[in-house]
Amino acid sequence: MTFDTLIGHRQQKNILHRALSSQHLAHAYLFEGPDGVGKKMMALAFVRARLCENGTGCETCPACLKVNNDNHPDIHFLTADGAAIKIEQIRALQQELSLRPLEGNGKFCLIDGAEHLTNGAANALLKTLEEPQPGTMIILLTSQPETLLPTIRSRCQRLPFMRLPKQQLANLLVQKLDLGDTEATVLAALSEGSFKKALGPNRELFLEKRHKLIQTLSALSAGSTIPTFTFADELETEKETLFDILDIFQSFYRDLLLLKHNRPLEELVNQDLLEILQHQKHSTTTASLLTKLKALESARFHLQRNVNRRLALEVMLMRITAA
């Protein structure tokens, strides 16, 4: 993907374009913003344009092909080794950056998930940022800039990235995945402007499994203890996607609230469940919906703090059915 074919983030593209054409490049950049919105693609396009033999990131010259195949000797990727980016990794990088470039006009390093730098690693990196080797560029990527050392942040040129607008993502999904407009709108809304979420394994969850999950949840009633526990069982096994499932439940209750307040239908997430929503709108109250949403929020809070998952889910479902 060349700079120009990257989707969205026009302002960021312009800034980087200008830096390239004026040769006013920073030694270090910090690309910050939500996961999955294209920060890494943008960083790669930027570096590719620097290394390209035609100066554009043409994607056909030998240098561009090497970048695309992940085997350009002057680009170094750094990601967490296990849970953290360790000081040894930064030392190895420093060693590498002190050598002359092998093929290109500089040496480049992408540190993906910079929030995983250990304290030691961050302090070591700080030295490199304070005294940059000529001809080197470091790009840090993170979704949690506030967790980085302030001294690291201030040494970098910061470039914030936003979520993609829902409609832009939906249009892209129609093209890329050959989805219908309604499906694309649902998927875009649930993915919250993240490419990665929309194009990844969540697609099946968001498009197909969602119906069944919402049906099961809606069918539970205050007295139905066994179905409630069975559903808690089922949810407990969802290791990777539990928070996305909570998002789905939240979207459903939020849609009902919007409907009750006569908001325009385009504002709803579950565009393909309008019939169920219209039907349920009459049998629920605003107060009950707000309590259900609170139960979801509180479960999320506890689950993020690694409490007993099973218990958190049972309590959540009981509060939802009682509301």
Positions touching Zn ion (CB under 5 A) are 52, 54, 58, 61, 64
Q: How far apart are CA 48 and CA 1, in angstroms?
A: 10
Contacts of 120 (CB under 8 A, 6+ apart): 86, 87
| CB-nearer residue toward Zn ion: 52 or 109 | 52
The distance of Cα 215 from the centroid of its chain, to the nearest Å, equals 28
Least spacing, CB of residue 12 vs Zn ion, in Å? 21
Q: How far is CA 35 from CA 168, 189, 193, in A?
A: 17, 15, 10
Helix H or strand E encompassing 17: helix 10-22
| CB-nearer residue toward Zn ion: 64 or 140 | 64
Least spacing, CB of residue 2 vs Zn ion, in Å? 9
| CB-nearer residue toward Zn ion: 68 or 291 | 68
Within 13 A of 198's CA, how many CA atoms are on the CB side? Answer: 32
Q: How far apart are CA 323 and CA 221, in angstroms?
A: 10
Residue 138 φ/ψ, nearest 5 degrees: -115, 130
Taking Cα atoms as reference points, which of 276, 204, 273, 277 lies closest to residue 241? 204
| CB-nearer residue toward Zn ion: 62 or 201 | 62
Least spacing, CB of residue 64 vs Zn ion, in Å? 3
Least spacing, CB of residue 75 vs Zn ion, in Å? 14
Least spacing, CB of residue 242 vs Zn ion, in Å? 43
Taking Cα atoms as reference points, which of 152, 82, 153 lies closest to residue 124? 152
The distance of Cα 258 from the centroid of its chain, to the nearest Å, equals 26
| CB-nearer residue toward Zn ion: 52 or 198 | 52
| CB-nearer residue toward Zn ion: 64 or 273 | 64
Residue 20: both structure tokens together:
């390239």
Least spacing, CB of residue 112 vs Zn ion, in Å? 23
Least spacing, CB of residue 45 vs Zn ion, in Å? 11
| CB-nearer residue toward Zn ion: 25 or 315 | 25
Residue 11: both structure tokens together:
């302002």
